[in-house]
Structure 1
Amino acid sequence: MLCRIRPLIALVAFLFVVPAFAQDDDPLPSWNDGATKQAIIDFVTKVSEPESGDYLPPKDRIATFDNDGTLWLEQPMYVQLAFALDRVKELAPEHPEWKKTQPFKAALEGDMKALAASGEKGVAELVMATHAGMTPAEFQTIVGDWLATAKDKRFERGYTGLVYQPMLELLAYLRQRGFTTYIVSGGGIEFVRNFSQAVYGIPPAQVVGSSIKTKYEVVDGVPTVMRLAEMNFIDDKDGKPIGITEHIGQRPIAAFGNSDGDYQMLDWTTAGDGPRLGLIVHHTDAEREYAYDRDSSVGRLDKALDDAPGKGWIVVDMKNDWKEIFPPKE
């Protein structure tokens, strides 16, 4: 009798345990099941499984990610711009002329309309004035101190807590499958390098971004690199393939973005030979995050949204494809 019961117990255990393991093995638990999630898994599987006809060795499994709006929020303004505005206020006592000079006057008064009217030139002036005149290490310390205390007003959370949980899972999944993941951001390279390892698991050497010029000099007998108030490289739009070529040295097989600023990176990536993946995060969830695309001055998504179907790029519908937006609060 006991011999007959044991197989029955084993069968019951199998029926209950296997679904639990299947759920635990889901590499993207914050993604809703559907065509988007399946397309990602299918791509990763076919390039990483040795028996696949599309198998690629790990050295070729390069994936690049935009940062603002792709890995963390970018509304109502880019996080680095929020940092620059706070720096203007902190440095204002040393620059009384800023009270009468745009765009600094707008920054000090919180006049976002006037600041927007200053355009990219005005924002660049703020960045130059607040990001230069120090060593990279000193800048890293300033950024780190700011990120440790600054909070987004709407969500009342620090910015490094406003990263996208589904994208964190995707980064981990890719690395588990032998991919090397890079950030390719229009934001400042040193700004992003400050938190890339701790937040995304991406070391500073795997960050590509915009940069200001630097100068080597010896100060009091100590060799030093100083950050200058002059733009060196803008890693946006057609700058992204250039930045990837110069920093990484090969075309990725997967690229992830959310705006027209990422168009050229996705276009160049998916134009390569063999299996390719291009993915756009479409912000469609006004309740849990923000809903914006064609008319937004921040993270504008227009041409890339129109061209995505013809180019075979996956468009993630944030509202419908993601179970969660941000990680749970600690």
Structure 2
Amino acid sequence: MNCRAVIAGFSTAFAAVFIWTASAFAQPAPLASWNDGASKQAIVEFVEAVTADGGPDYVAPADRIATFDNDGTLWVEHPMYTQLAFALDRVKALASEHPEWKTTPPFQAVLENDMEALGRSGHKGLMEIIAATHAGMSTDAFEKITSDWIATARHPRFHRPYTDLVYQPMLELLDYLRANGFKTFIVSGGGIEFMRPWTEEVYGIPAEQVVGSSIVTEYTVVDGLPELMRLPEIAFVDDKAGKPVGILTHIGKRPIAAFGNSDGDYEMLQYTTAGPGKRLGMFVHHDDADREYAYDRDTHFGRLDKGLDDASKEGWHLISMKDDWNQIFPGK
């Protein structure tokens, strides 16, 4: 082989190595917003174990199901649940059509921004607000109202759209799981039709992979056109013991990984990790008052009490927002 051929061969090999190296460096590291520690290690070890073909913990792709709570797990839930903020805004938007609300609890409390009085109205008051703001319209009309609101509403502390206040580490976790053959689902106490219009754009989770609470809908024909009308009656509450029921009804398989942040997710983690084989259950623990919020046992939204006590016993991991995440929100 002459010198020119050797040089040409060397150049080709060098170019191939350079291209491969550049490509490798161009790929963002998985879980980049997670600090090295027990939580990140638990996730990586779990995924490597269940995807190792021929290994003792291997799980076929069809059974790699991971479920995620939404409020407080994938996006911010303080100072109140986002859907509650939507409902309160809807009361104010509809107030001109209902002058009686000025003197009628719980609507009076909303219009006067009296959150203490609203809190005293309890579950009954909340259901009245949901009935007034979420029902009496078609599903198509509700989807438009929801989409318009989510596109313009801003969080009172961060002054950013709610869809900007998703957790960057959890977005990376969703991507990491999907890159390893998982199918990811939202299983939330929030309204299923409140979430579905935007979850694919924000999380990469399509509408058919969203499980949530629902109100009664009724098929009807209006001016010759078929419609589904939303009625002022709760059909299903996808919270606490309702979450495993929702999983069975909508997904039909027991997950092998579940992620939550409150006692409302306790039964979902319990149901998930009680199955055979390798399992993963994790709670996001809100302990970062500077970058987000710090709360667990003493809060009206996202209370983590029993889960905090039982996590170690159940083999569940607590994700410290303060220690495990080097970034909270995208772009921050």
Q: Structure 2-normalised TM-score?
A: 0.92
**Residue ranges of structure 1 left out of the alignment (5+ in a row):** none
Structure 1 runs (4+) deviating above 4 angstroms are: 17-25
The secondary structure found in structure 1 opposite 2:70 is coil
- Please give the alpha-carbon distance, in whole angstroms, between the structure 2 residues aligned to 1:262 and 1:210: 14
130, 133, 140: which one aligns with 2:133: 130
Look up the match of 2:223.
220
CA gap 1:19/1:41 in 2 versus in 1, 3 angstroms: farther
Report the AA paired with residue 273 of structure 1.
P
Distance 2:45 2:82 in 1: 34
Distance in 2 of aligned mates of 1:174 and 1:121: 39
Q: Closer, same or farther in 2 for the Cα pair 1:38/1:269, shift >3 Å?
A: same
- Which sits farther off after the overlay, 79-88 or 131-140? 131-140
RMSD (Å), alpha carbons: 2.2
Residues 1:140 and 2:143 aligned together: yes
1:164 corresponds to 2:157: no
Q: Pick from 249, 254, 261: which aligns with 1:251?
A: 254
Structure 1 residue 137: Cα displacement: 1.3
Structure 2 gaps of 5+ residues are: 1-5
Of the candidates 64, 69, 73, which is equivalent to residue 67 of structure 2?
Answer: 64
| Alignment match of 2:38 (pick from 30, 35, 39) | 35
Q: Following the alignment from structure 2 to structure 1, what is the Cα–Cα distance between the partners of residues 321 and 135?
A: 37
Equivalent-residue separation in structure 1 for 2:26 and 2:327 (angstroms): 16
Q: Which residue of 2 aligns with 1:309?
A: 312
Distance in 1 separating the partners of 2:294 and 2:67:
24
Letter aligned with residue 294 of structure 1? R
TM-fit CA distance, 1:120: 1.7
- The 2-side partners of 1:164 and 1:306 are apart by 24
Which residue does 1:75 correspond to in 2?
78
Closer/same/farther in 2, CA of residues 63 and 121 from structure 1, 3 Å limit: same
CA distance in structure 2 between the partners assigned to 1:23 and 1:319 by the alignment: 28
CA positional deviation for 1:26: 2.5
Alignment of 1:163-312 (within 5 A): 163-312=166-315
Deviation, 1:125, is 1.1
Q: Aligned equivalents of 2:274 and 2:49: distance in 1?
A: 18
Q: Distance in 1 between matches of 2:158 and 2:54?
A: 46
TM-superposition CA deviations, 1:200-253 (whole Å, max 9, x none): 000100000000000001111111110001111000000000010111111100
1:90 aligns with 2:93: yes
Matched, 1:149 2:148: no
Alignment coverage as a number of residue pairs: 322
Paired residue secondary structure (1:125): helix
Is residue 321 from structure 1 mapped to residue 302 from structure 2 by the alignment? Answer: no
How big is each residue's C-alpha offset from its partner over 1:16-64, in whole Å with a ceiling of 9 and x where there is no partner?
x979947945210000011110110110111112132211111100000
- Output the TM-score relative to the length of structure 1: 0.93
SS of the residue 2:302 aligns to: coil
- How far, CA to CA, are the matches of 1:221 and 1:166 in structure 2? 48
Take 2:200 and 2:240, find their aligned partners in 1: how far apart are those partners? 25
> Aligned partner of 1:295: which letter?
D
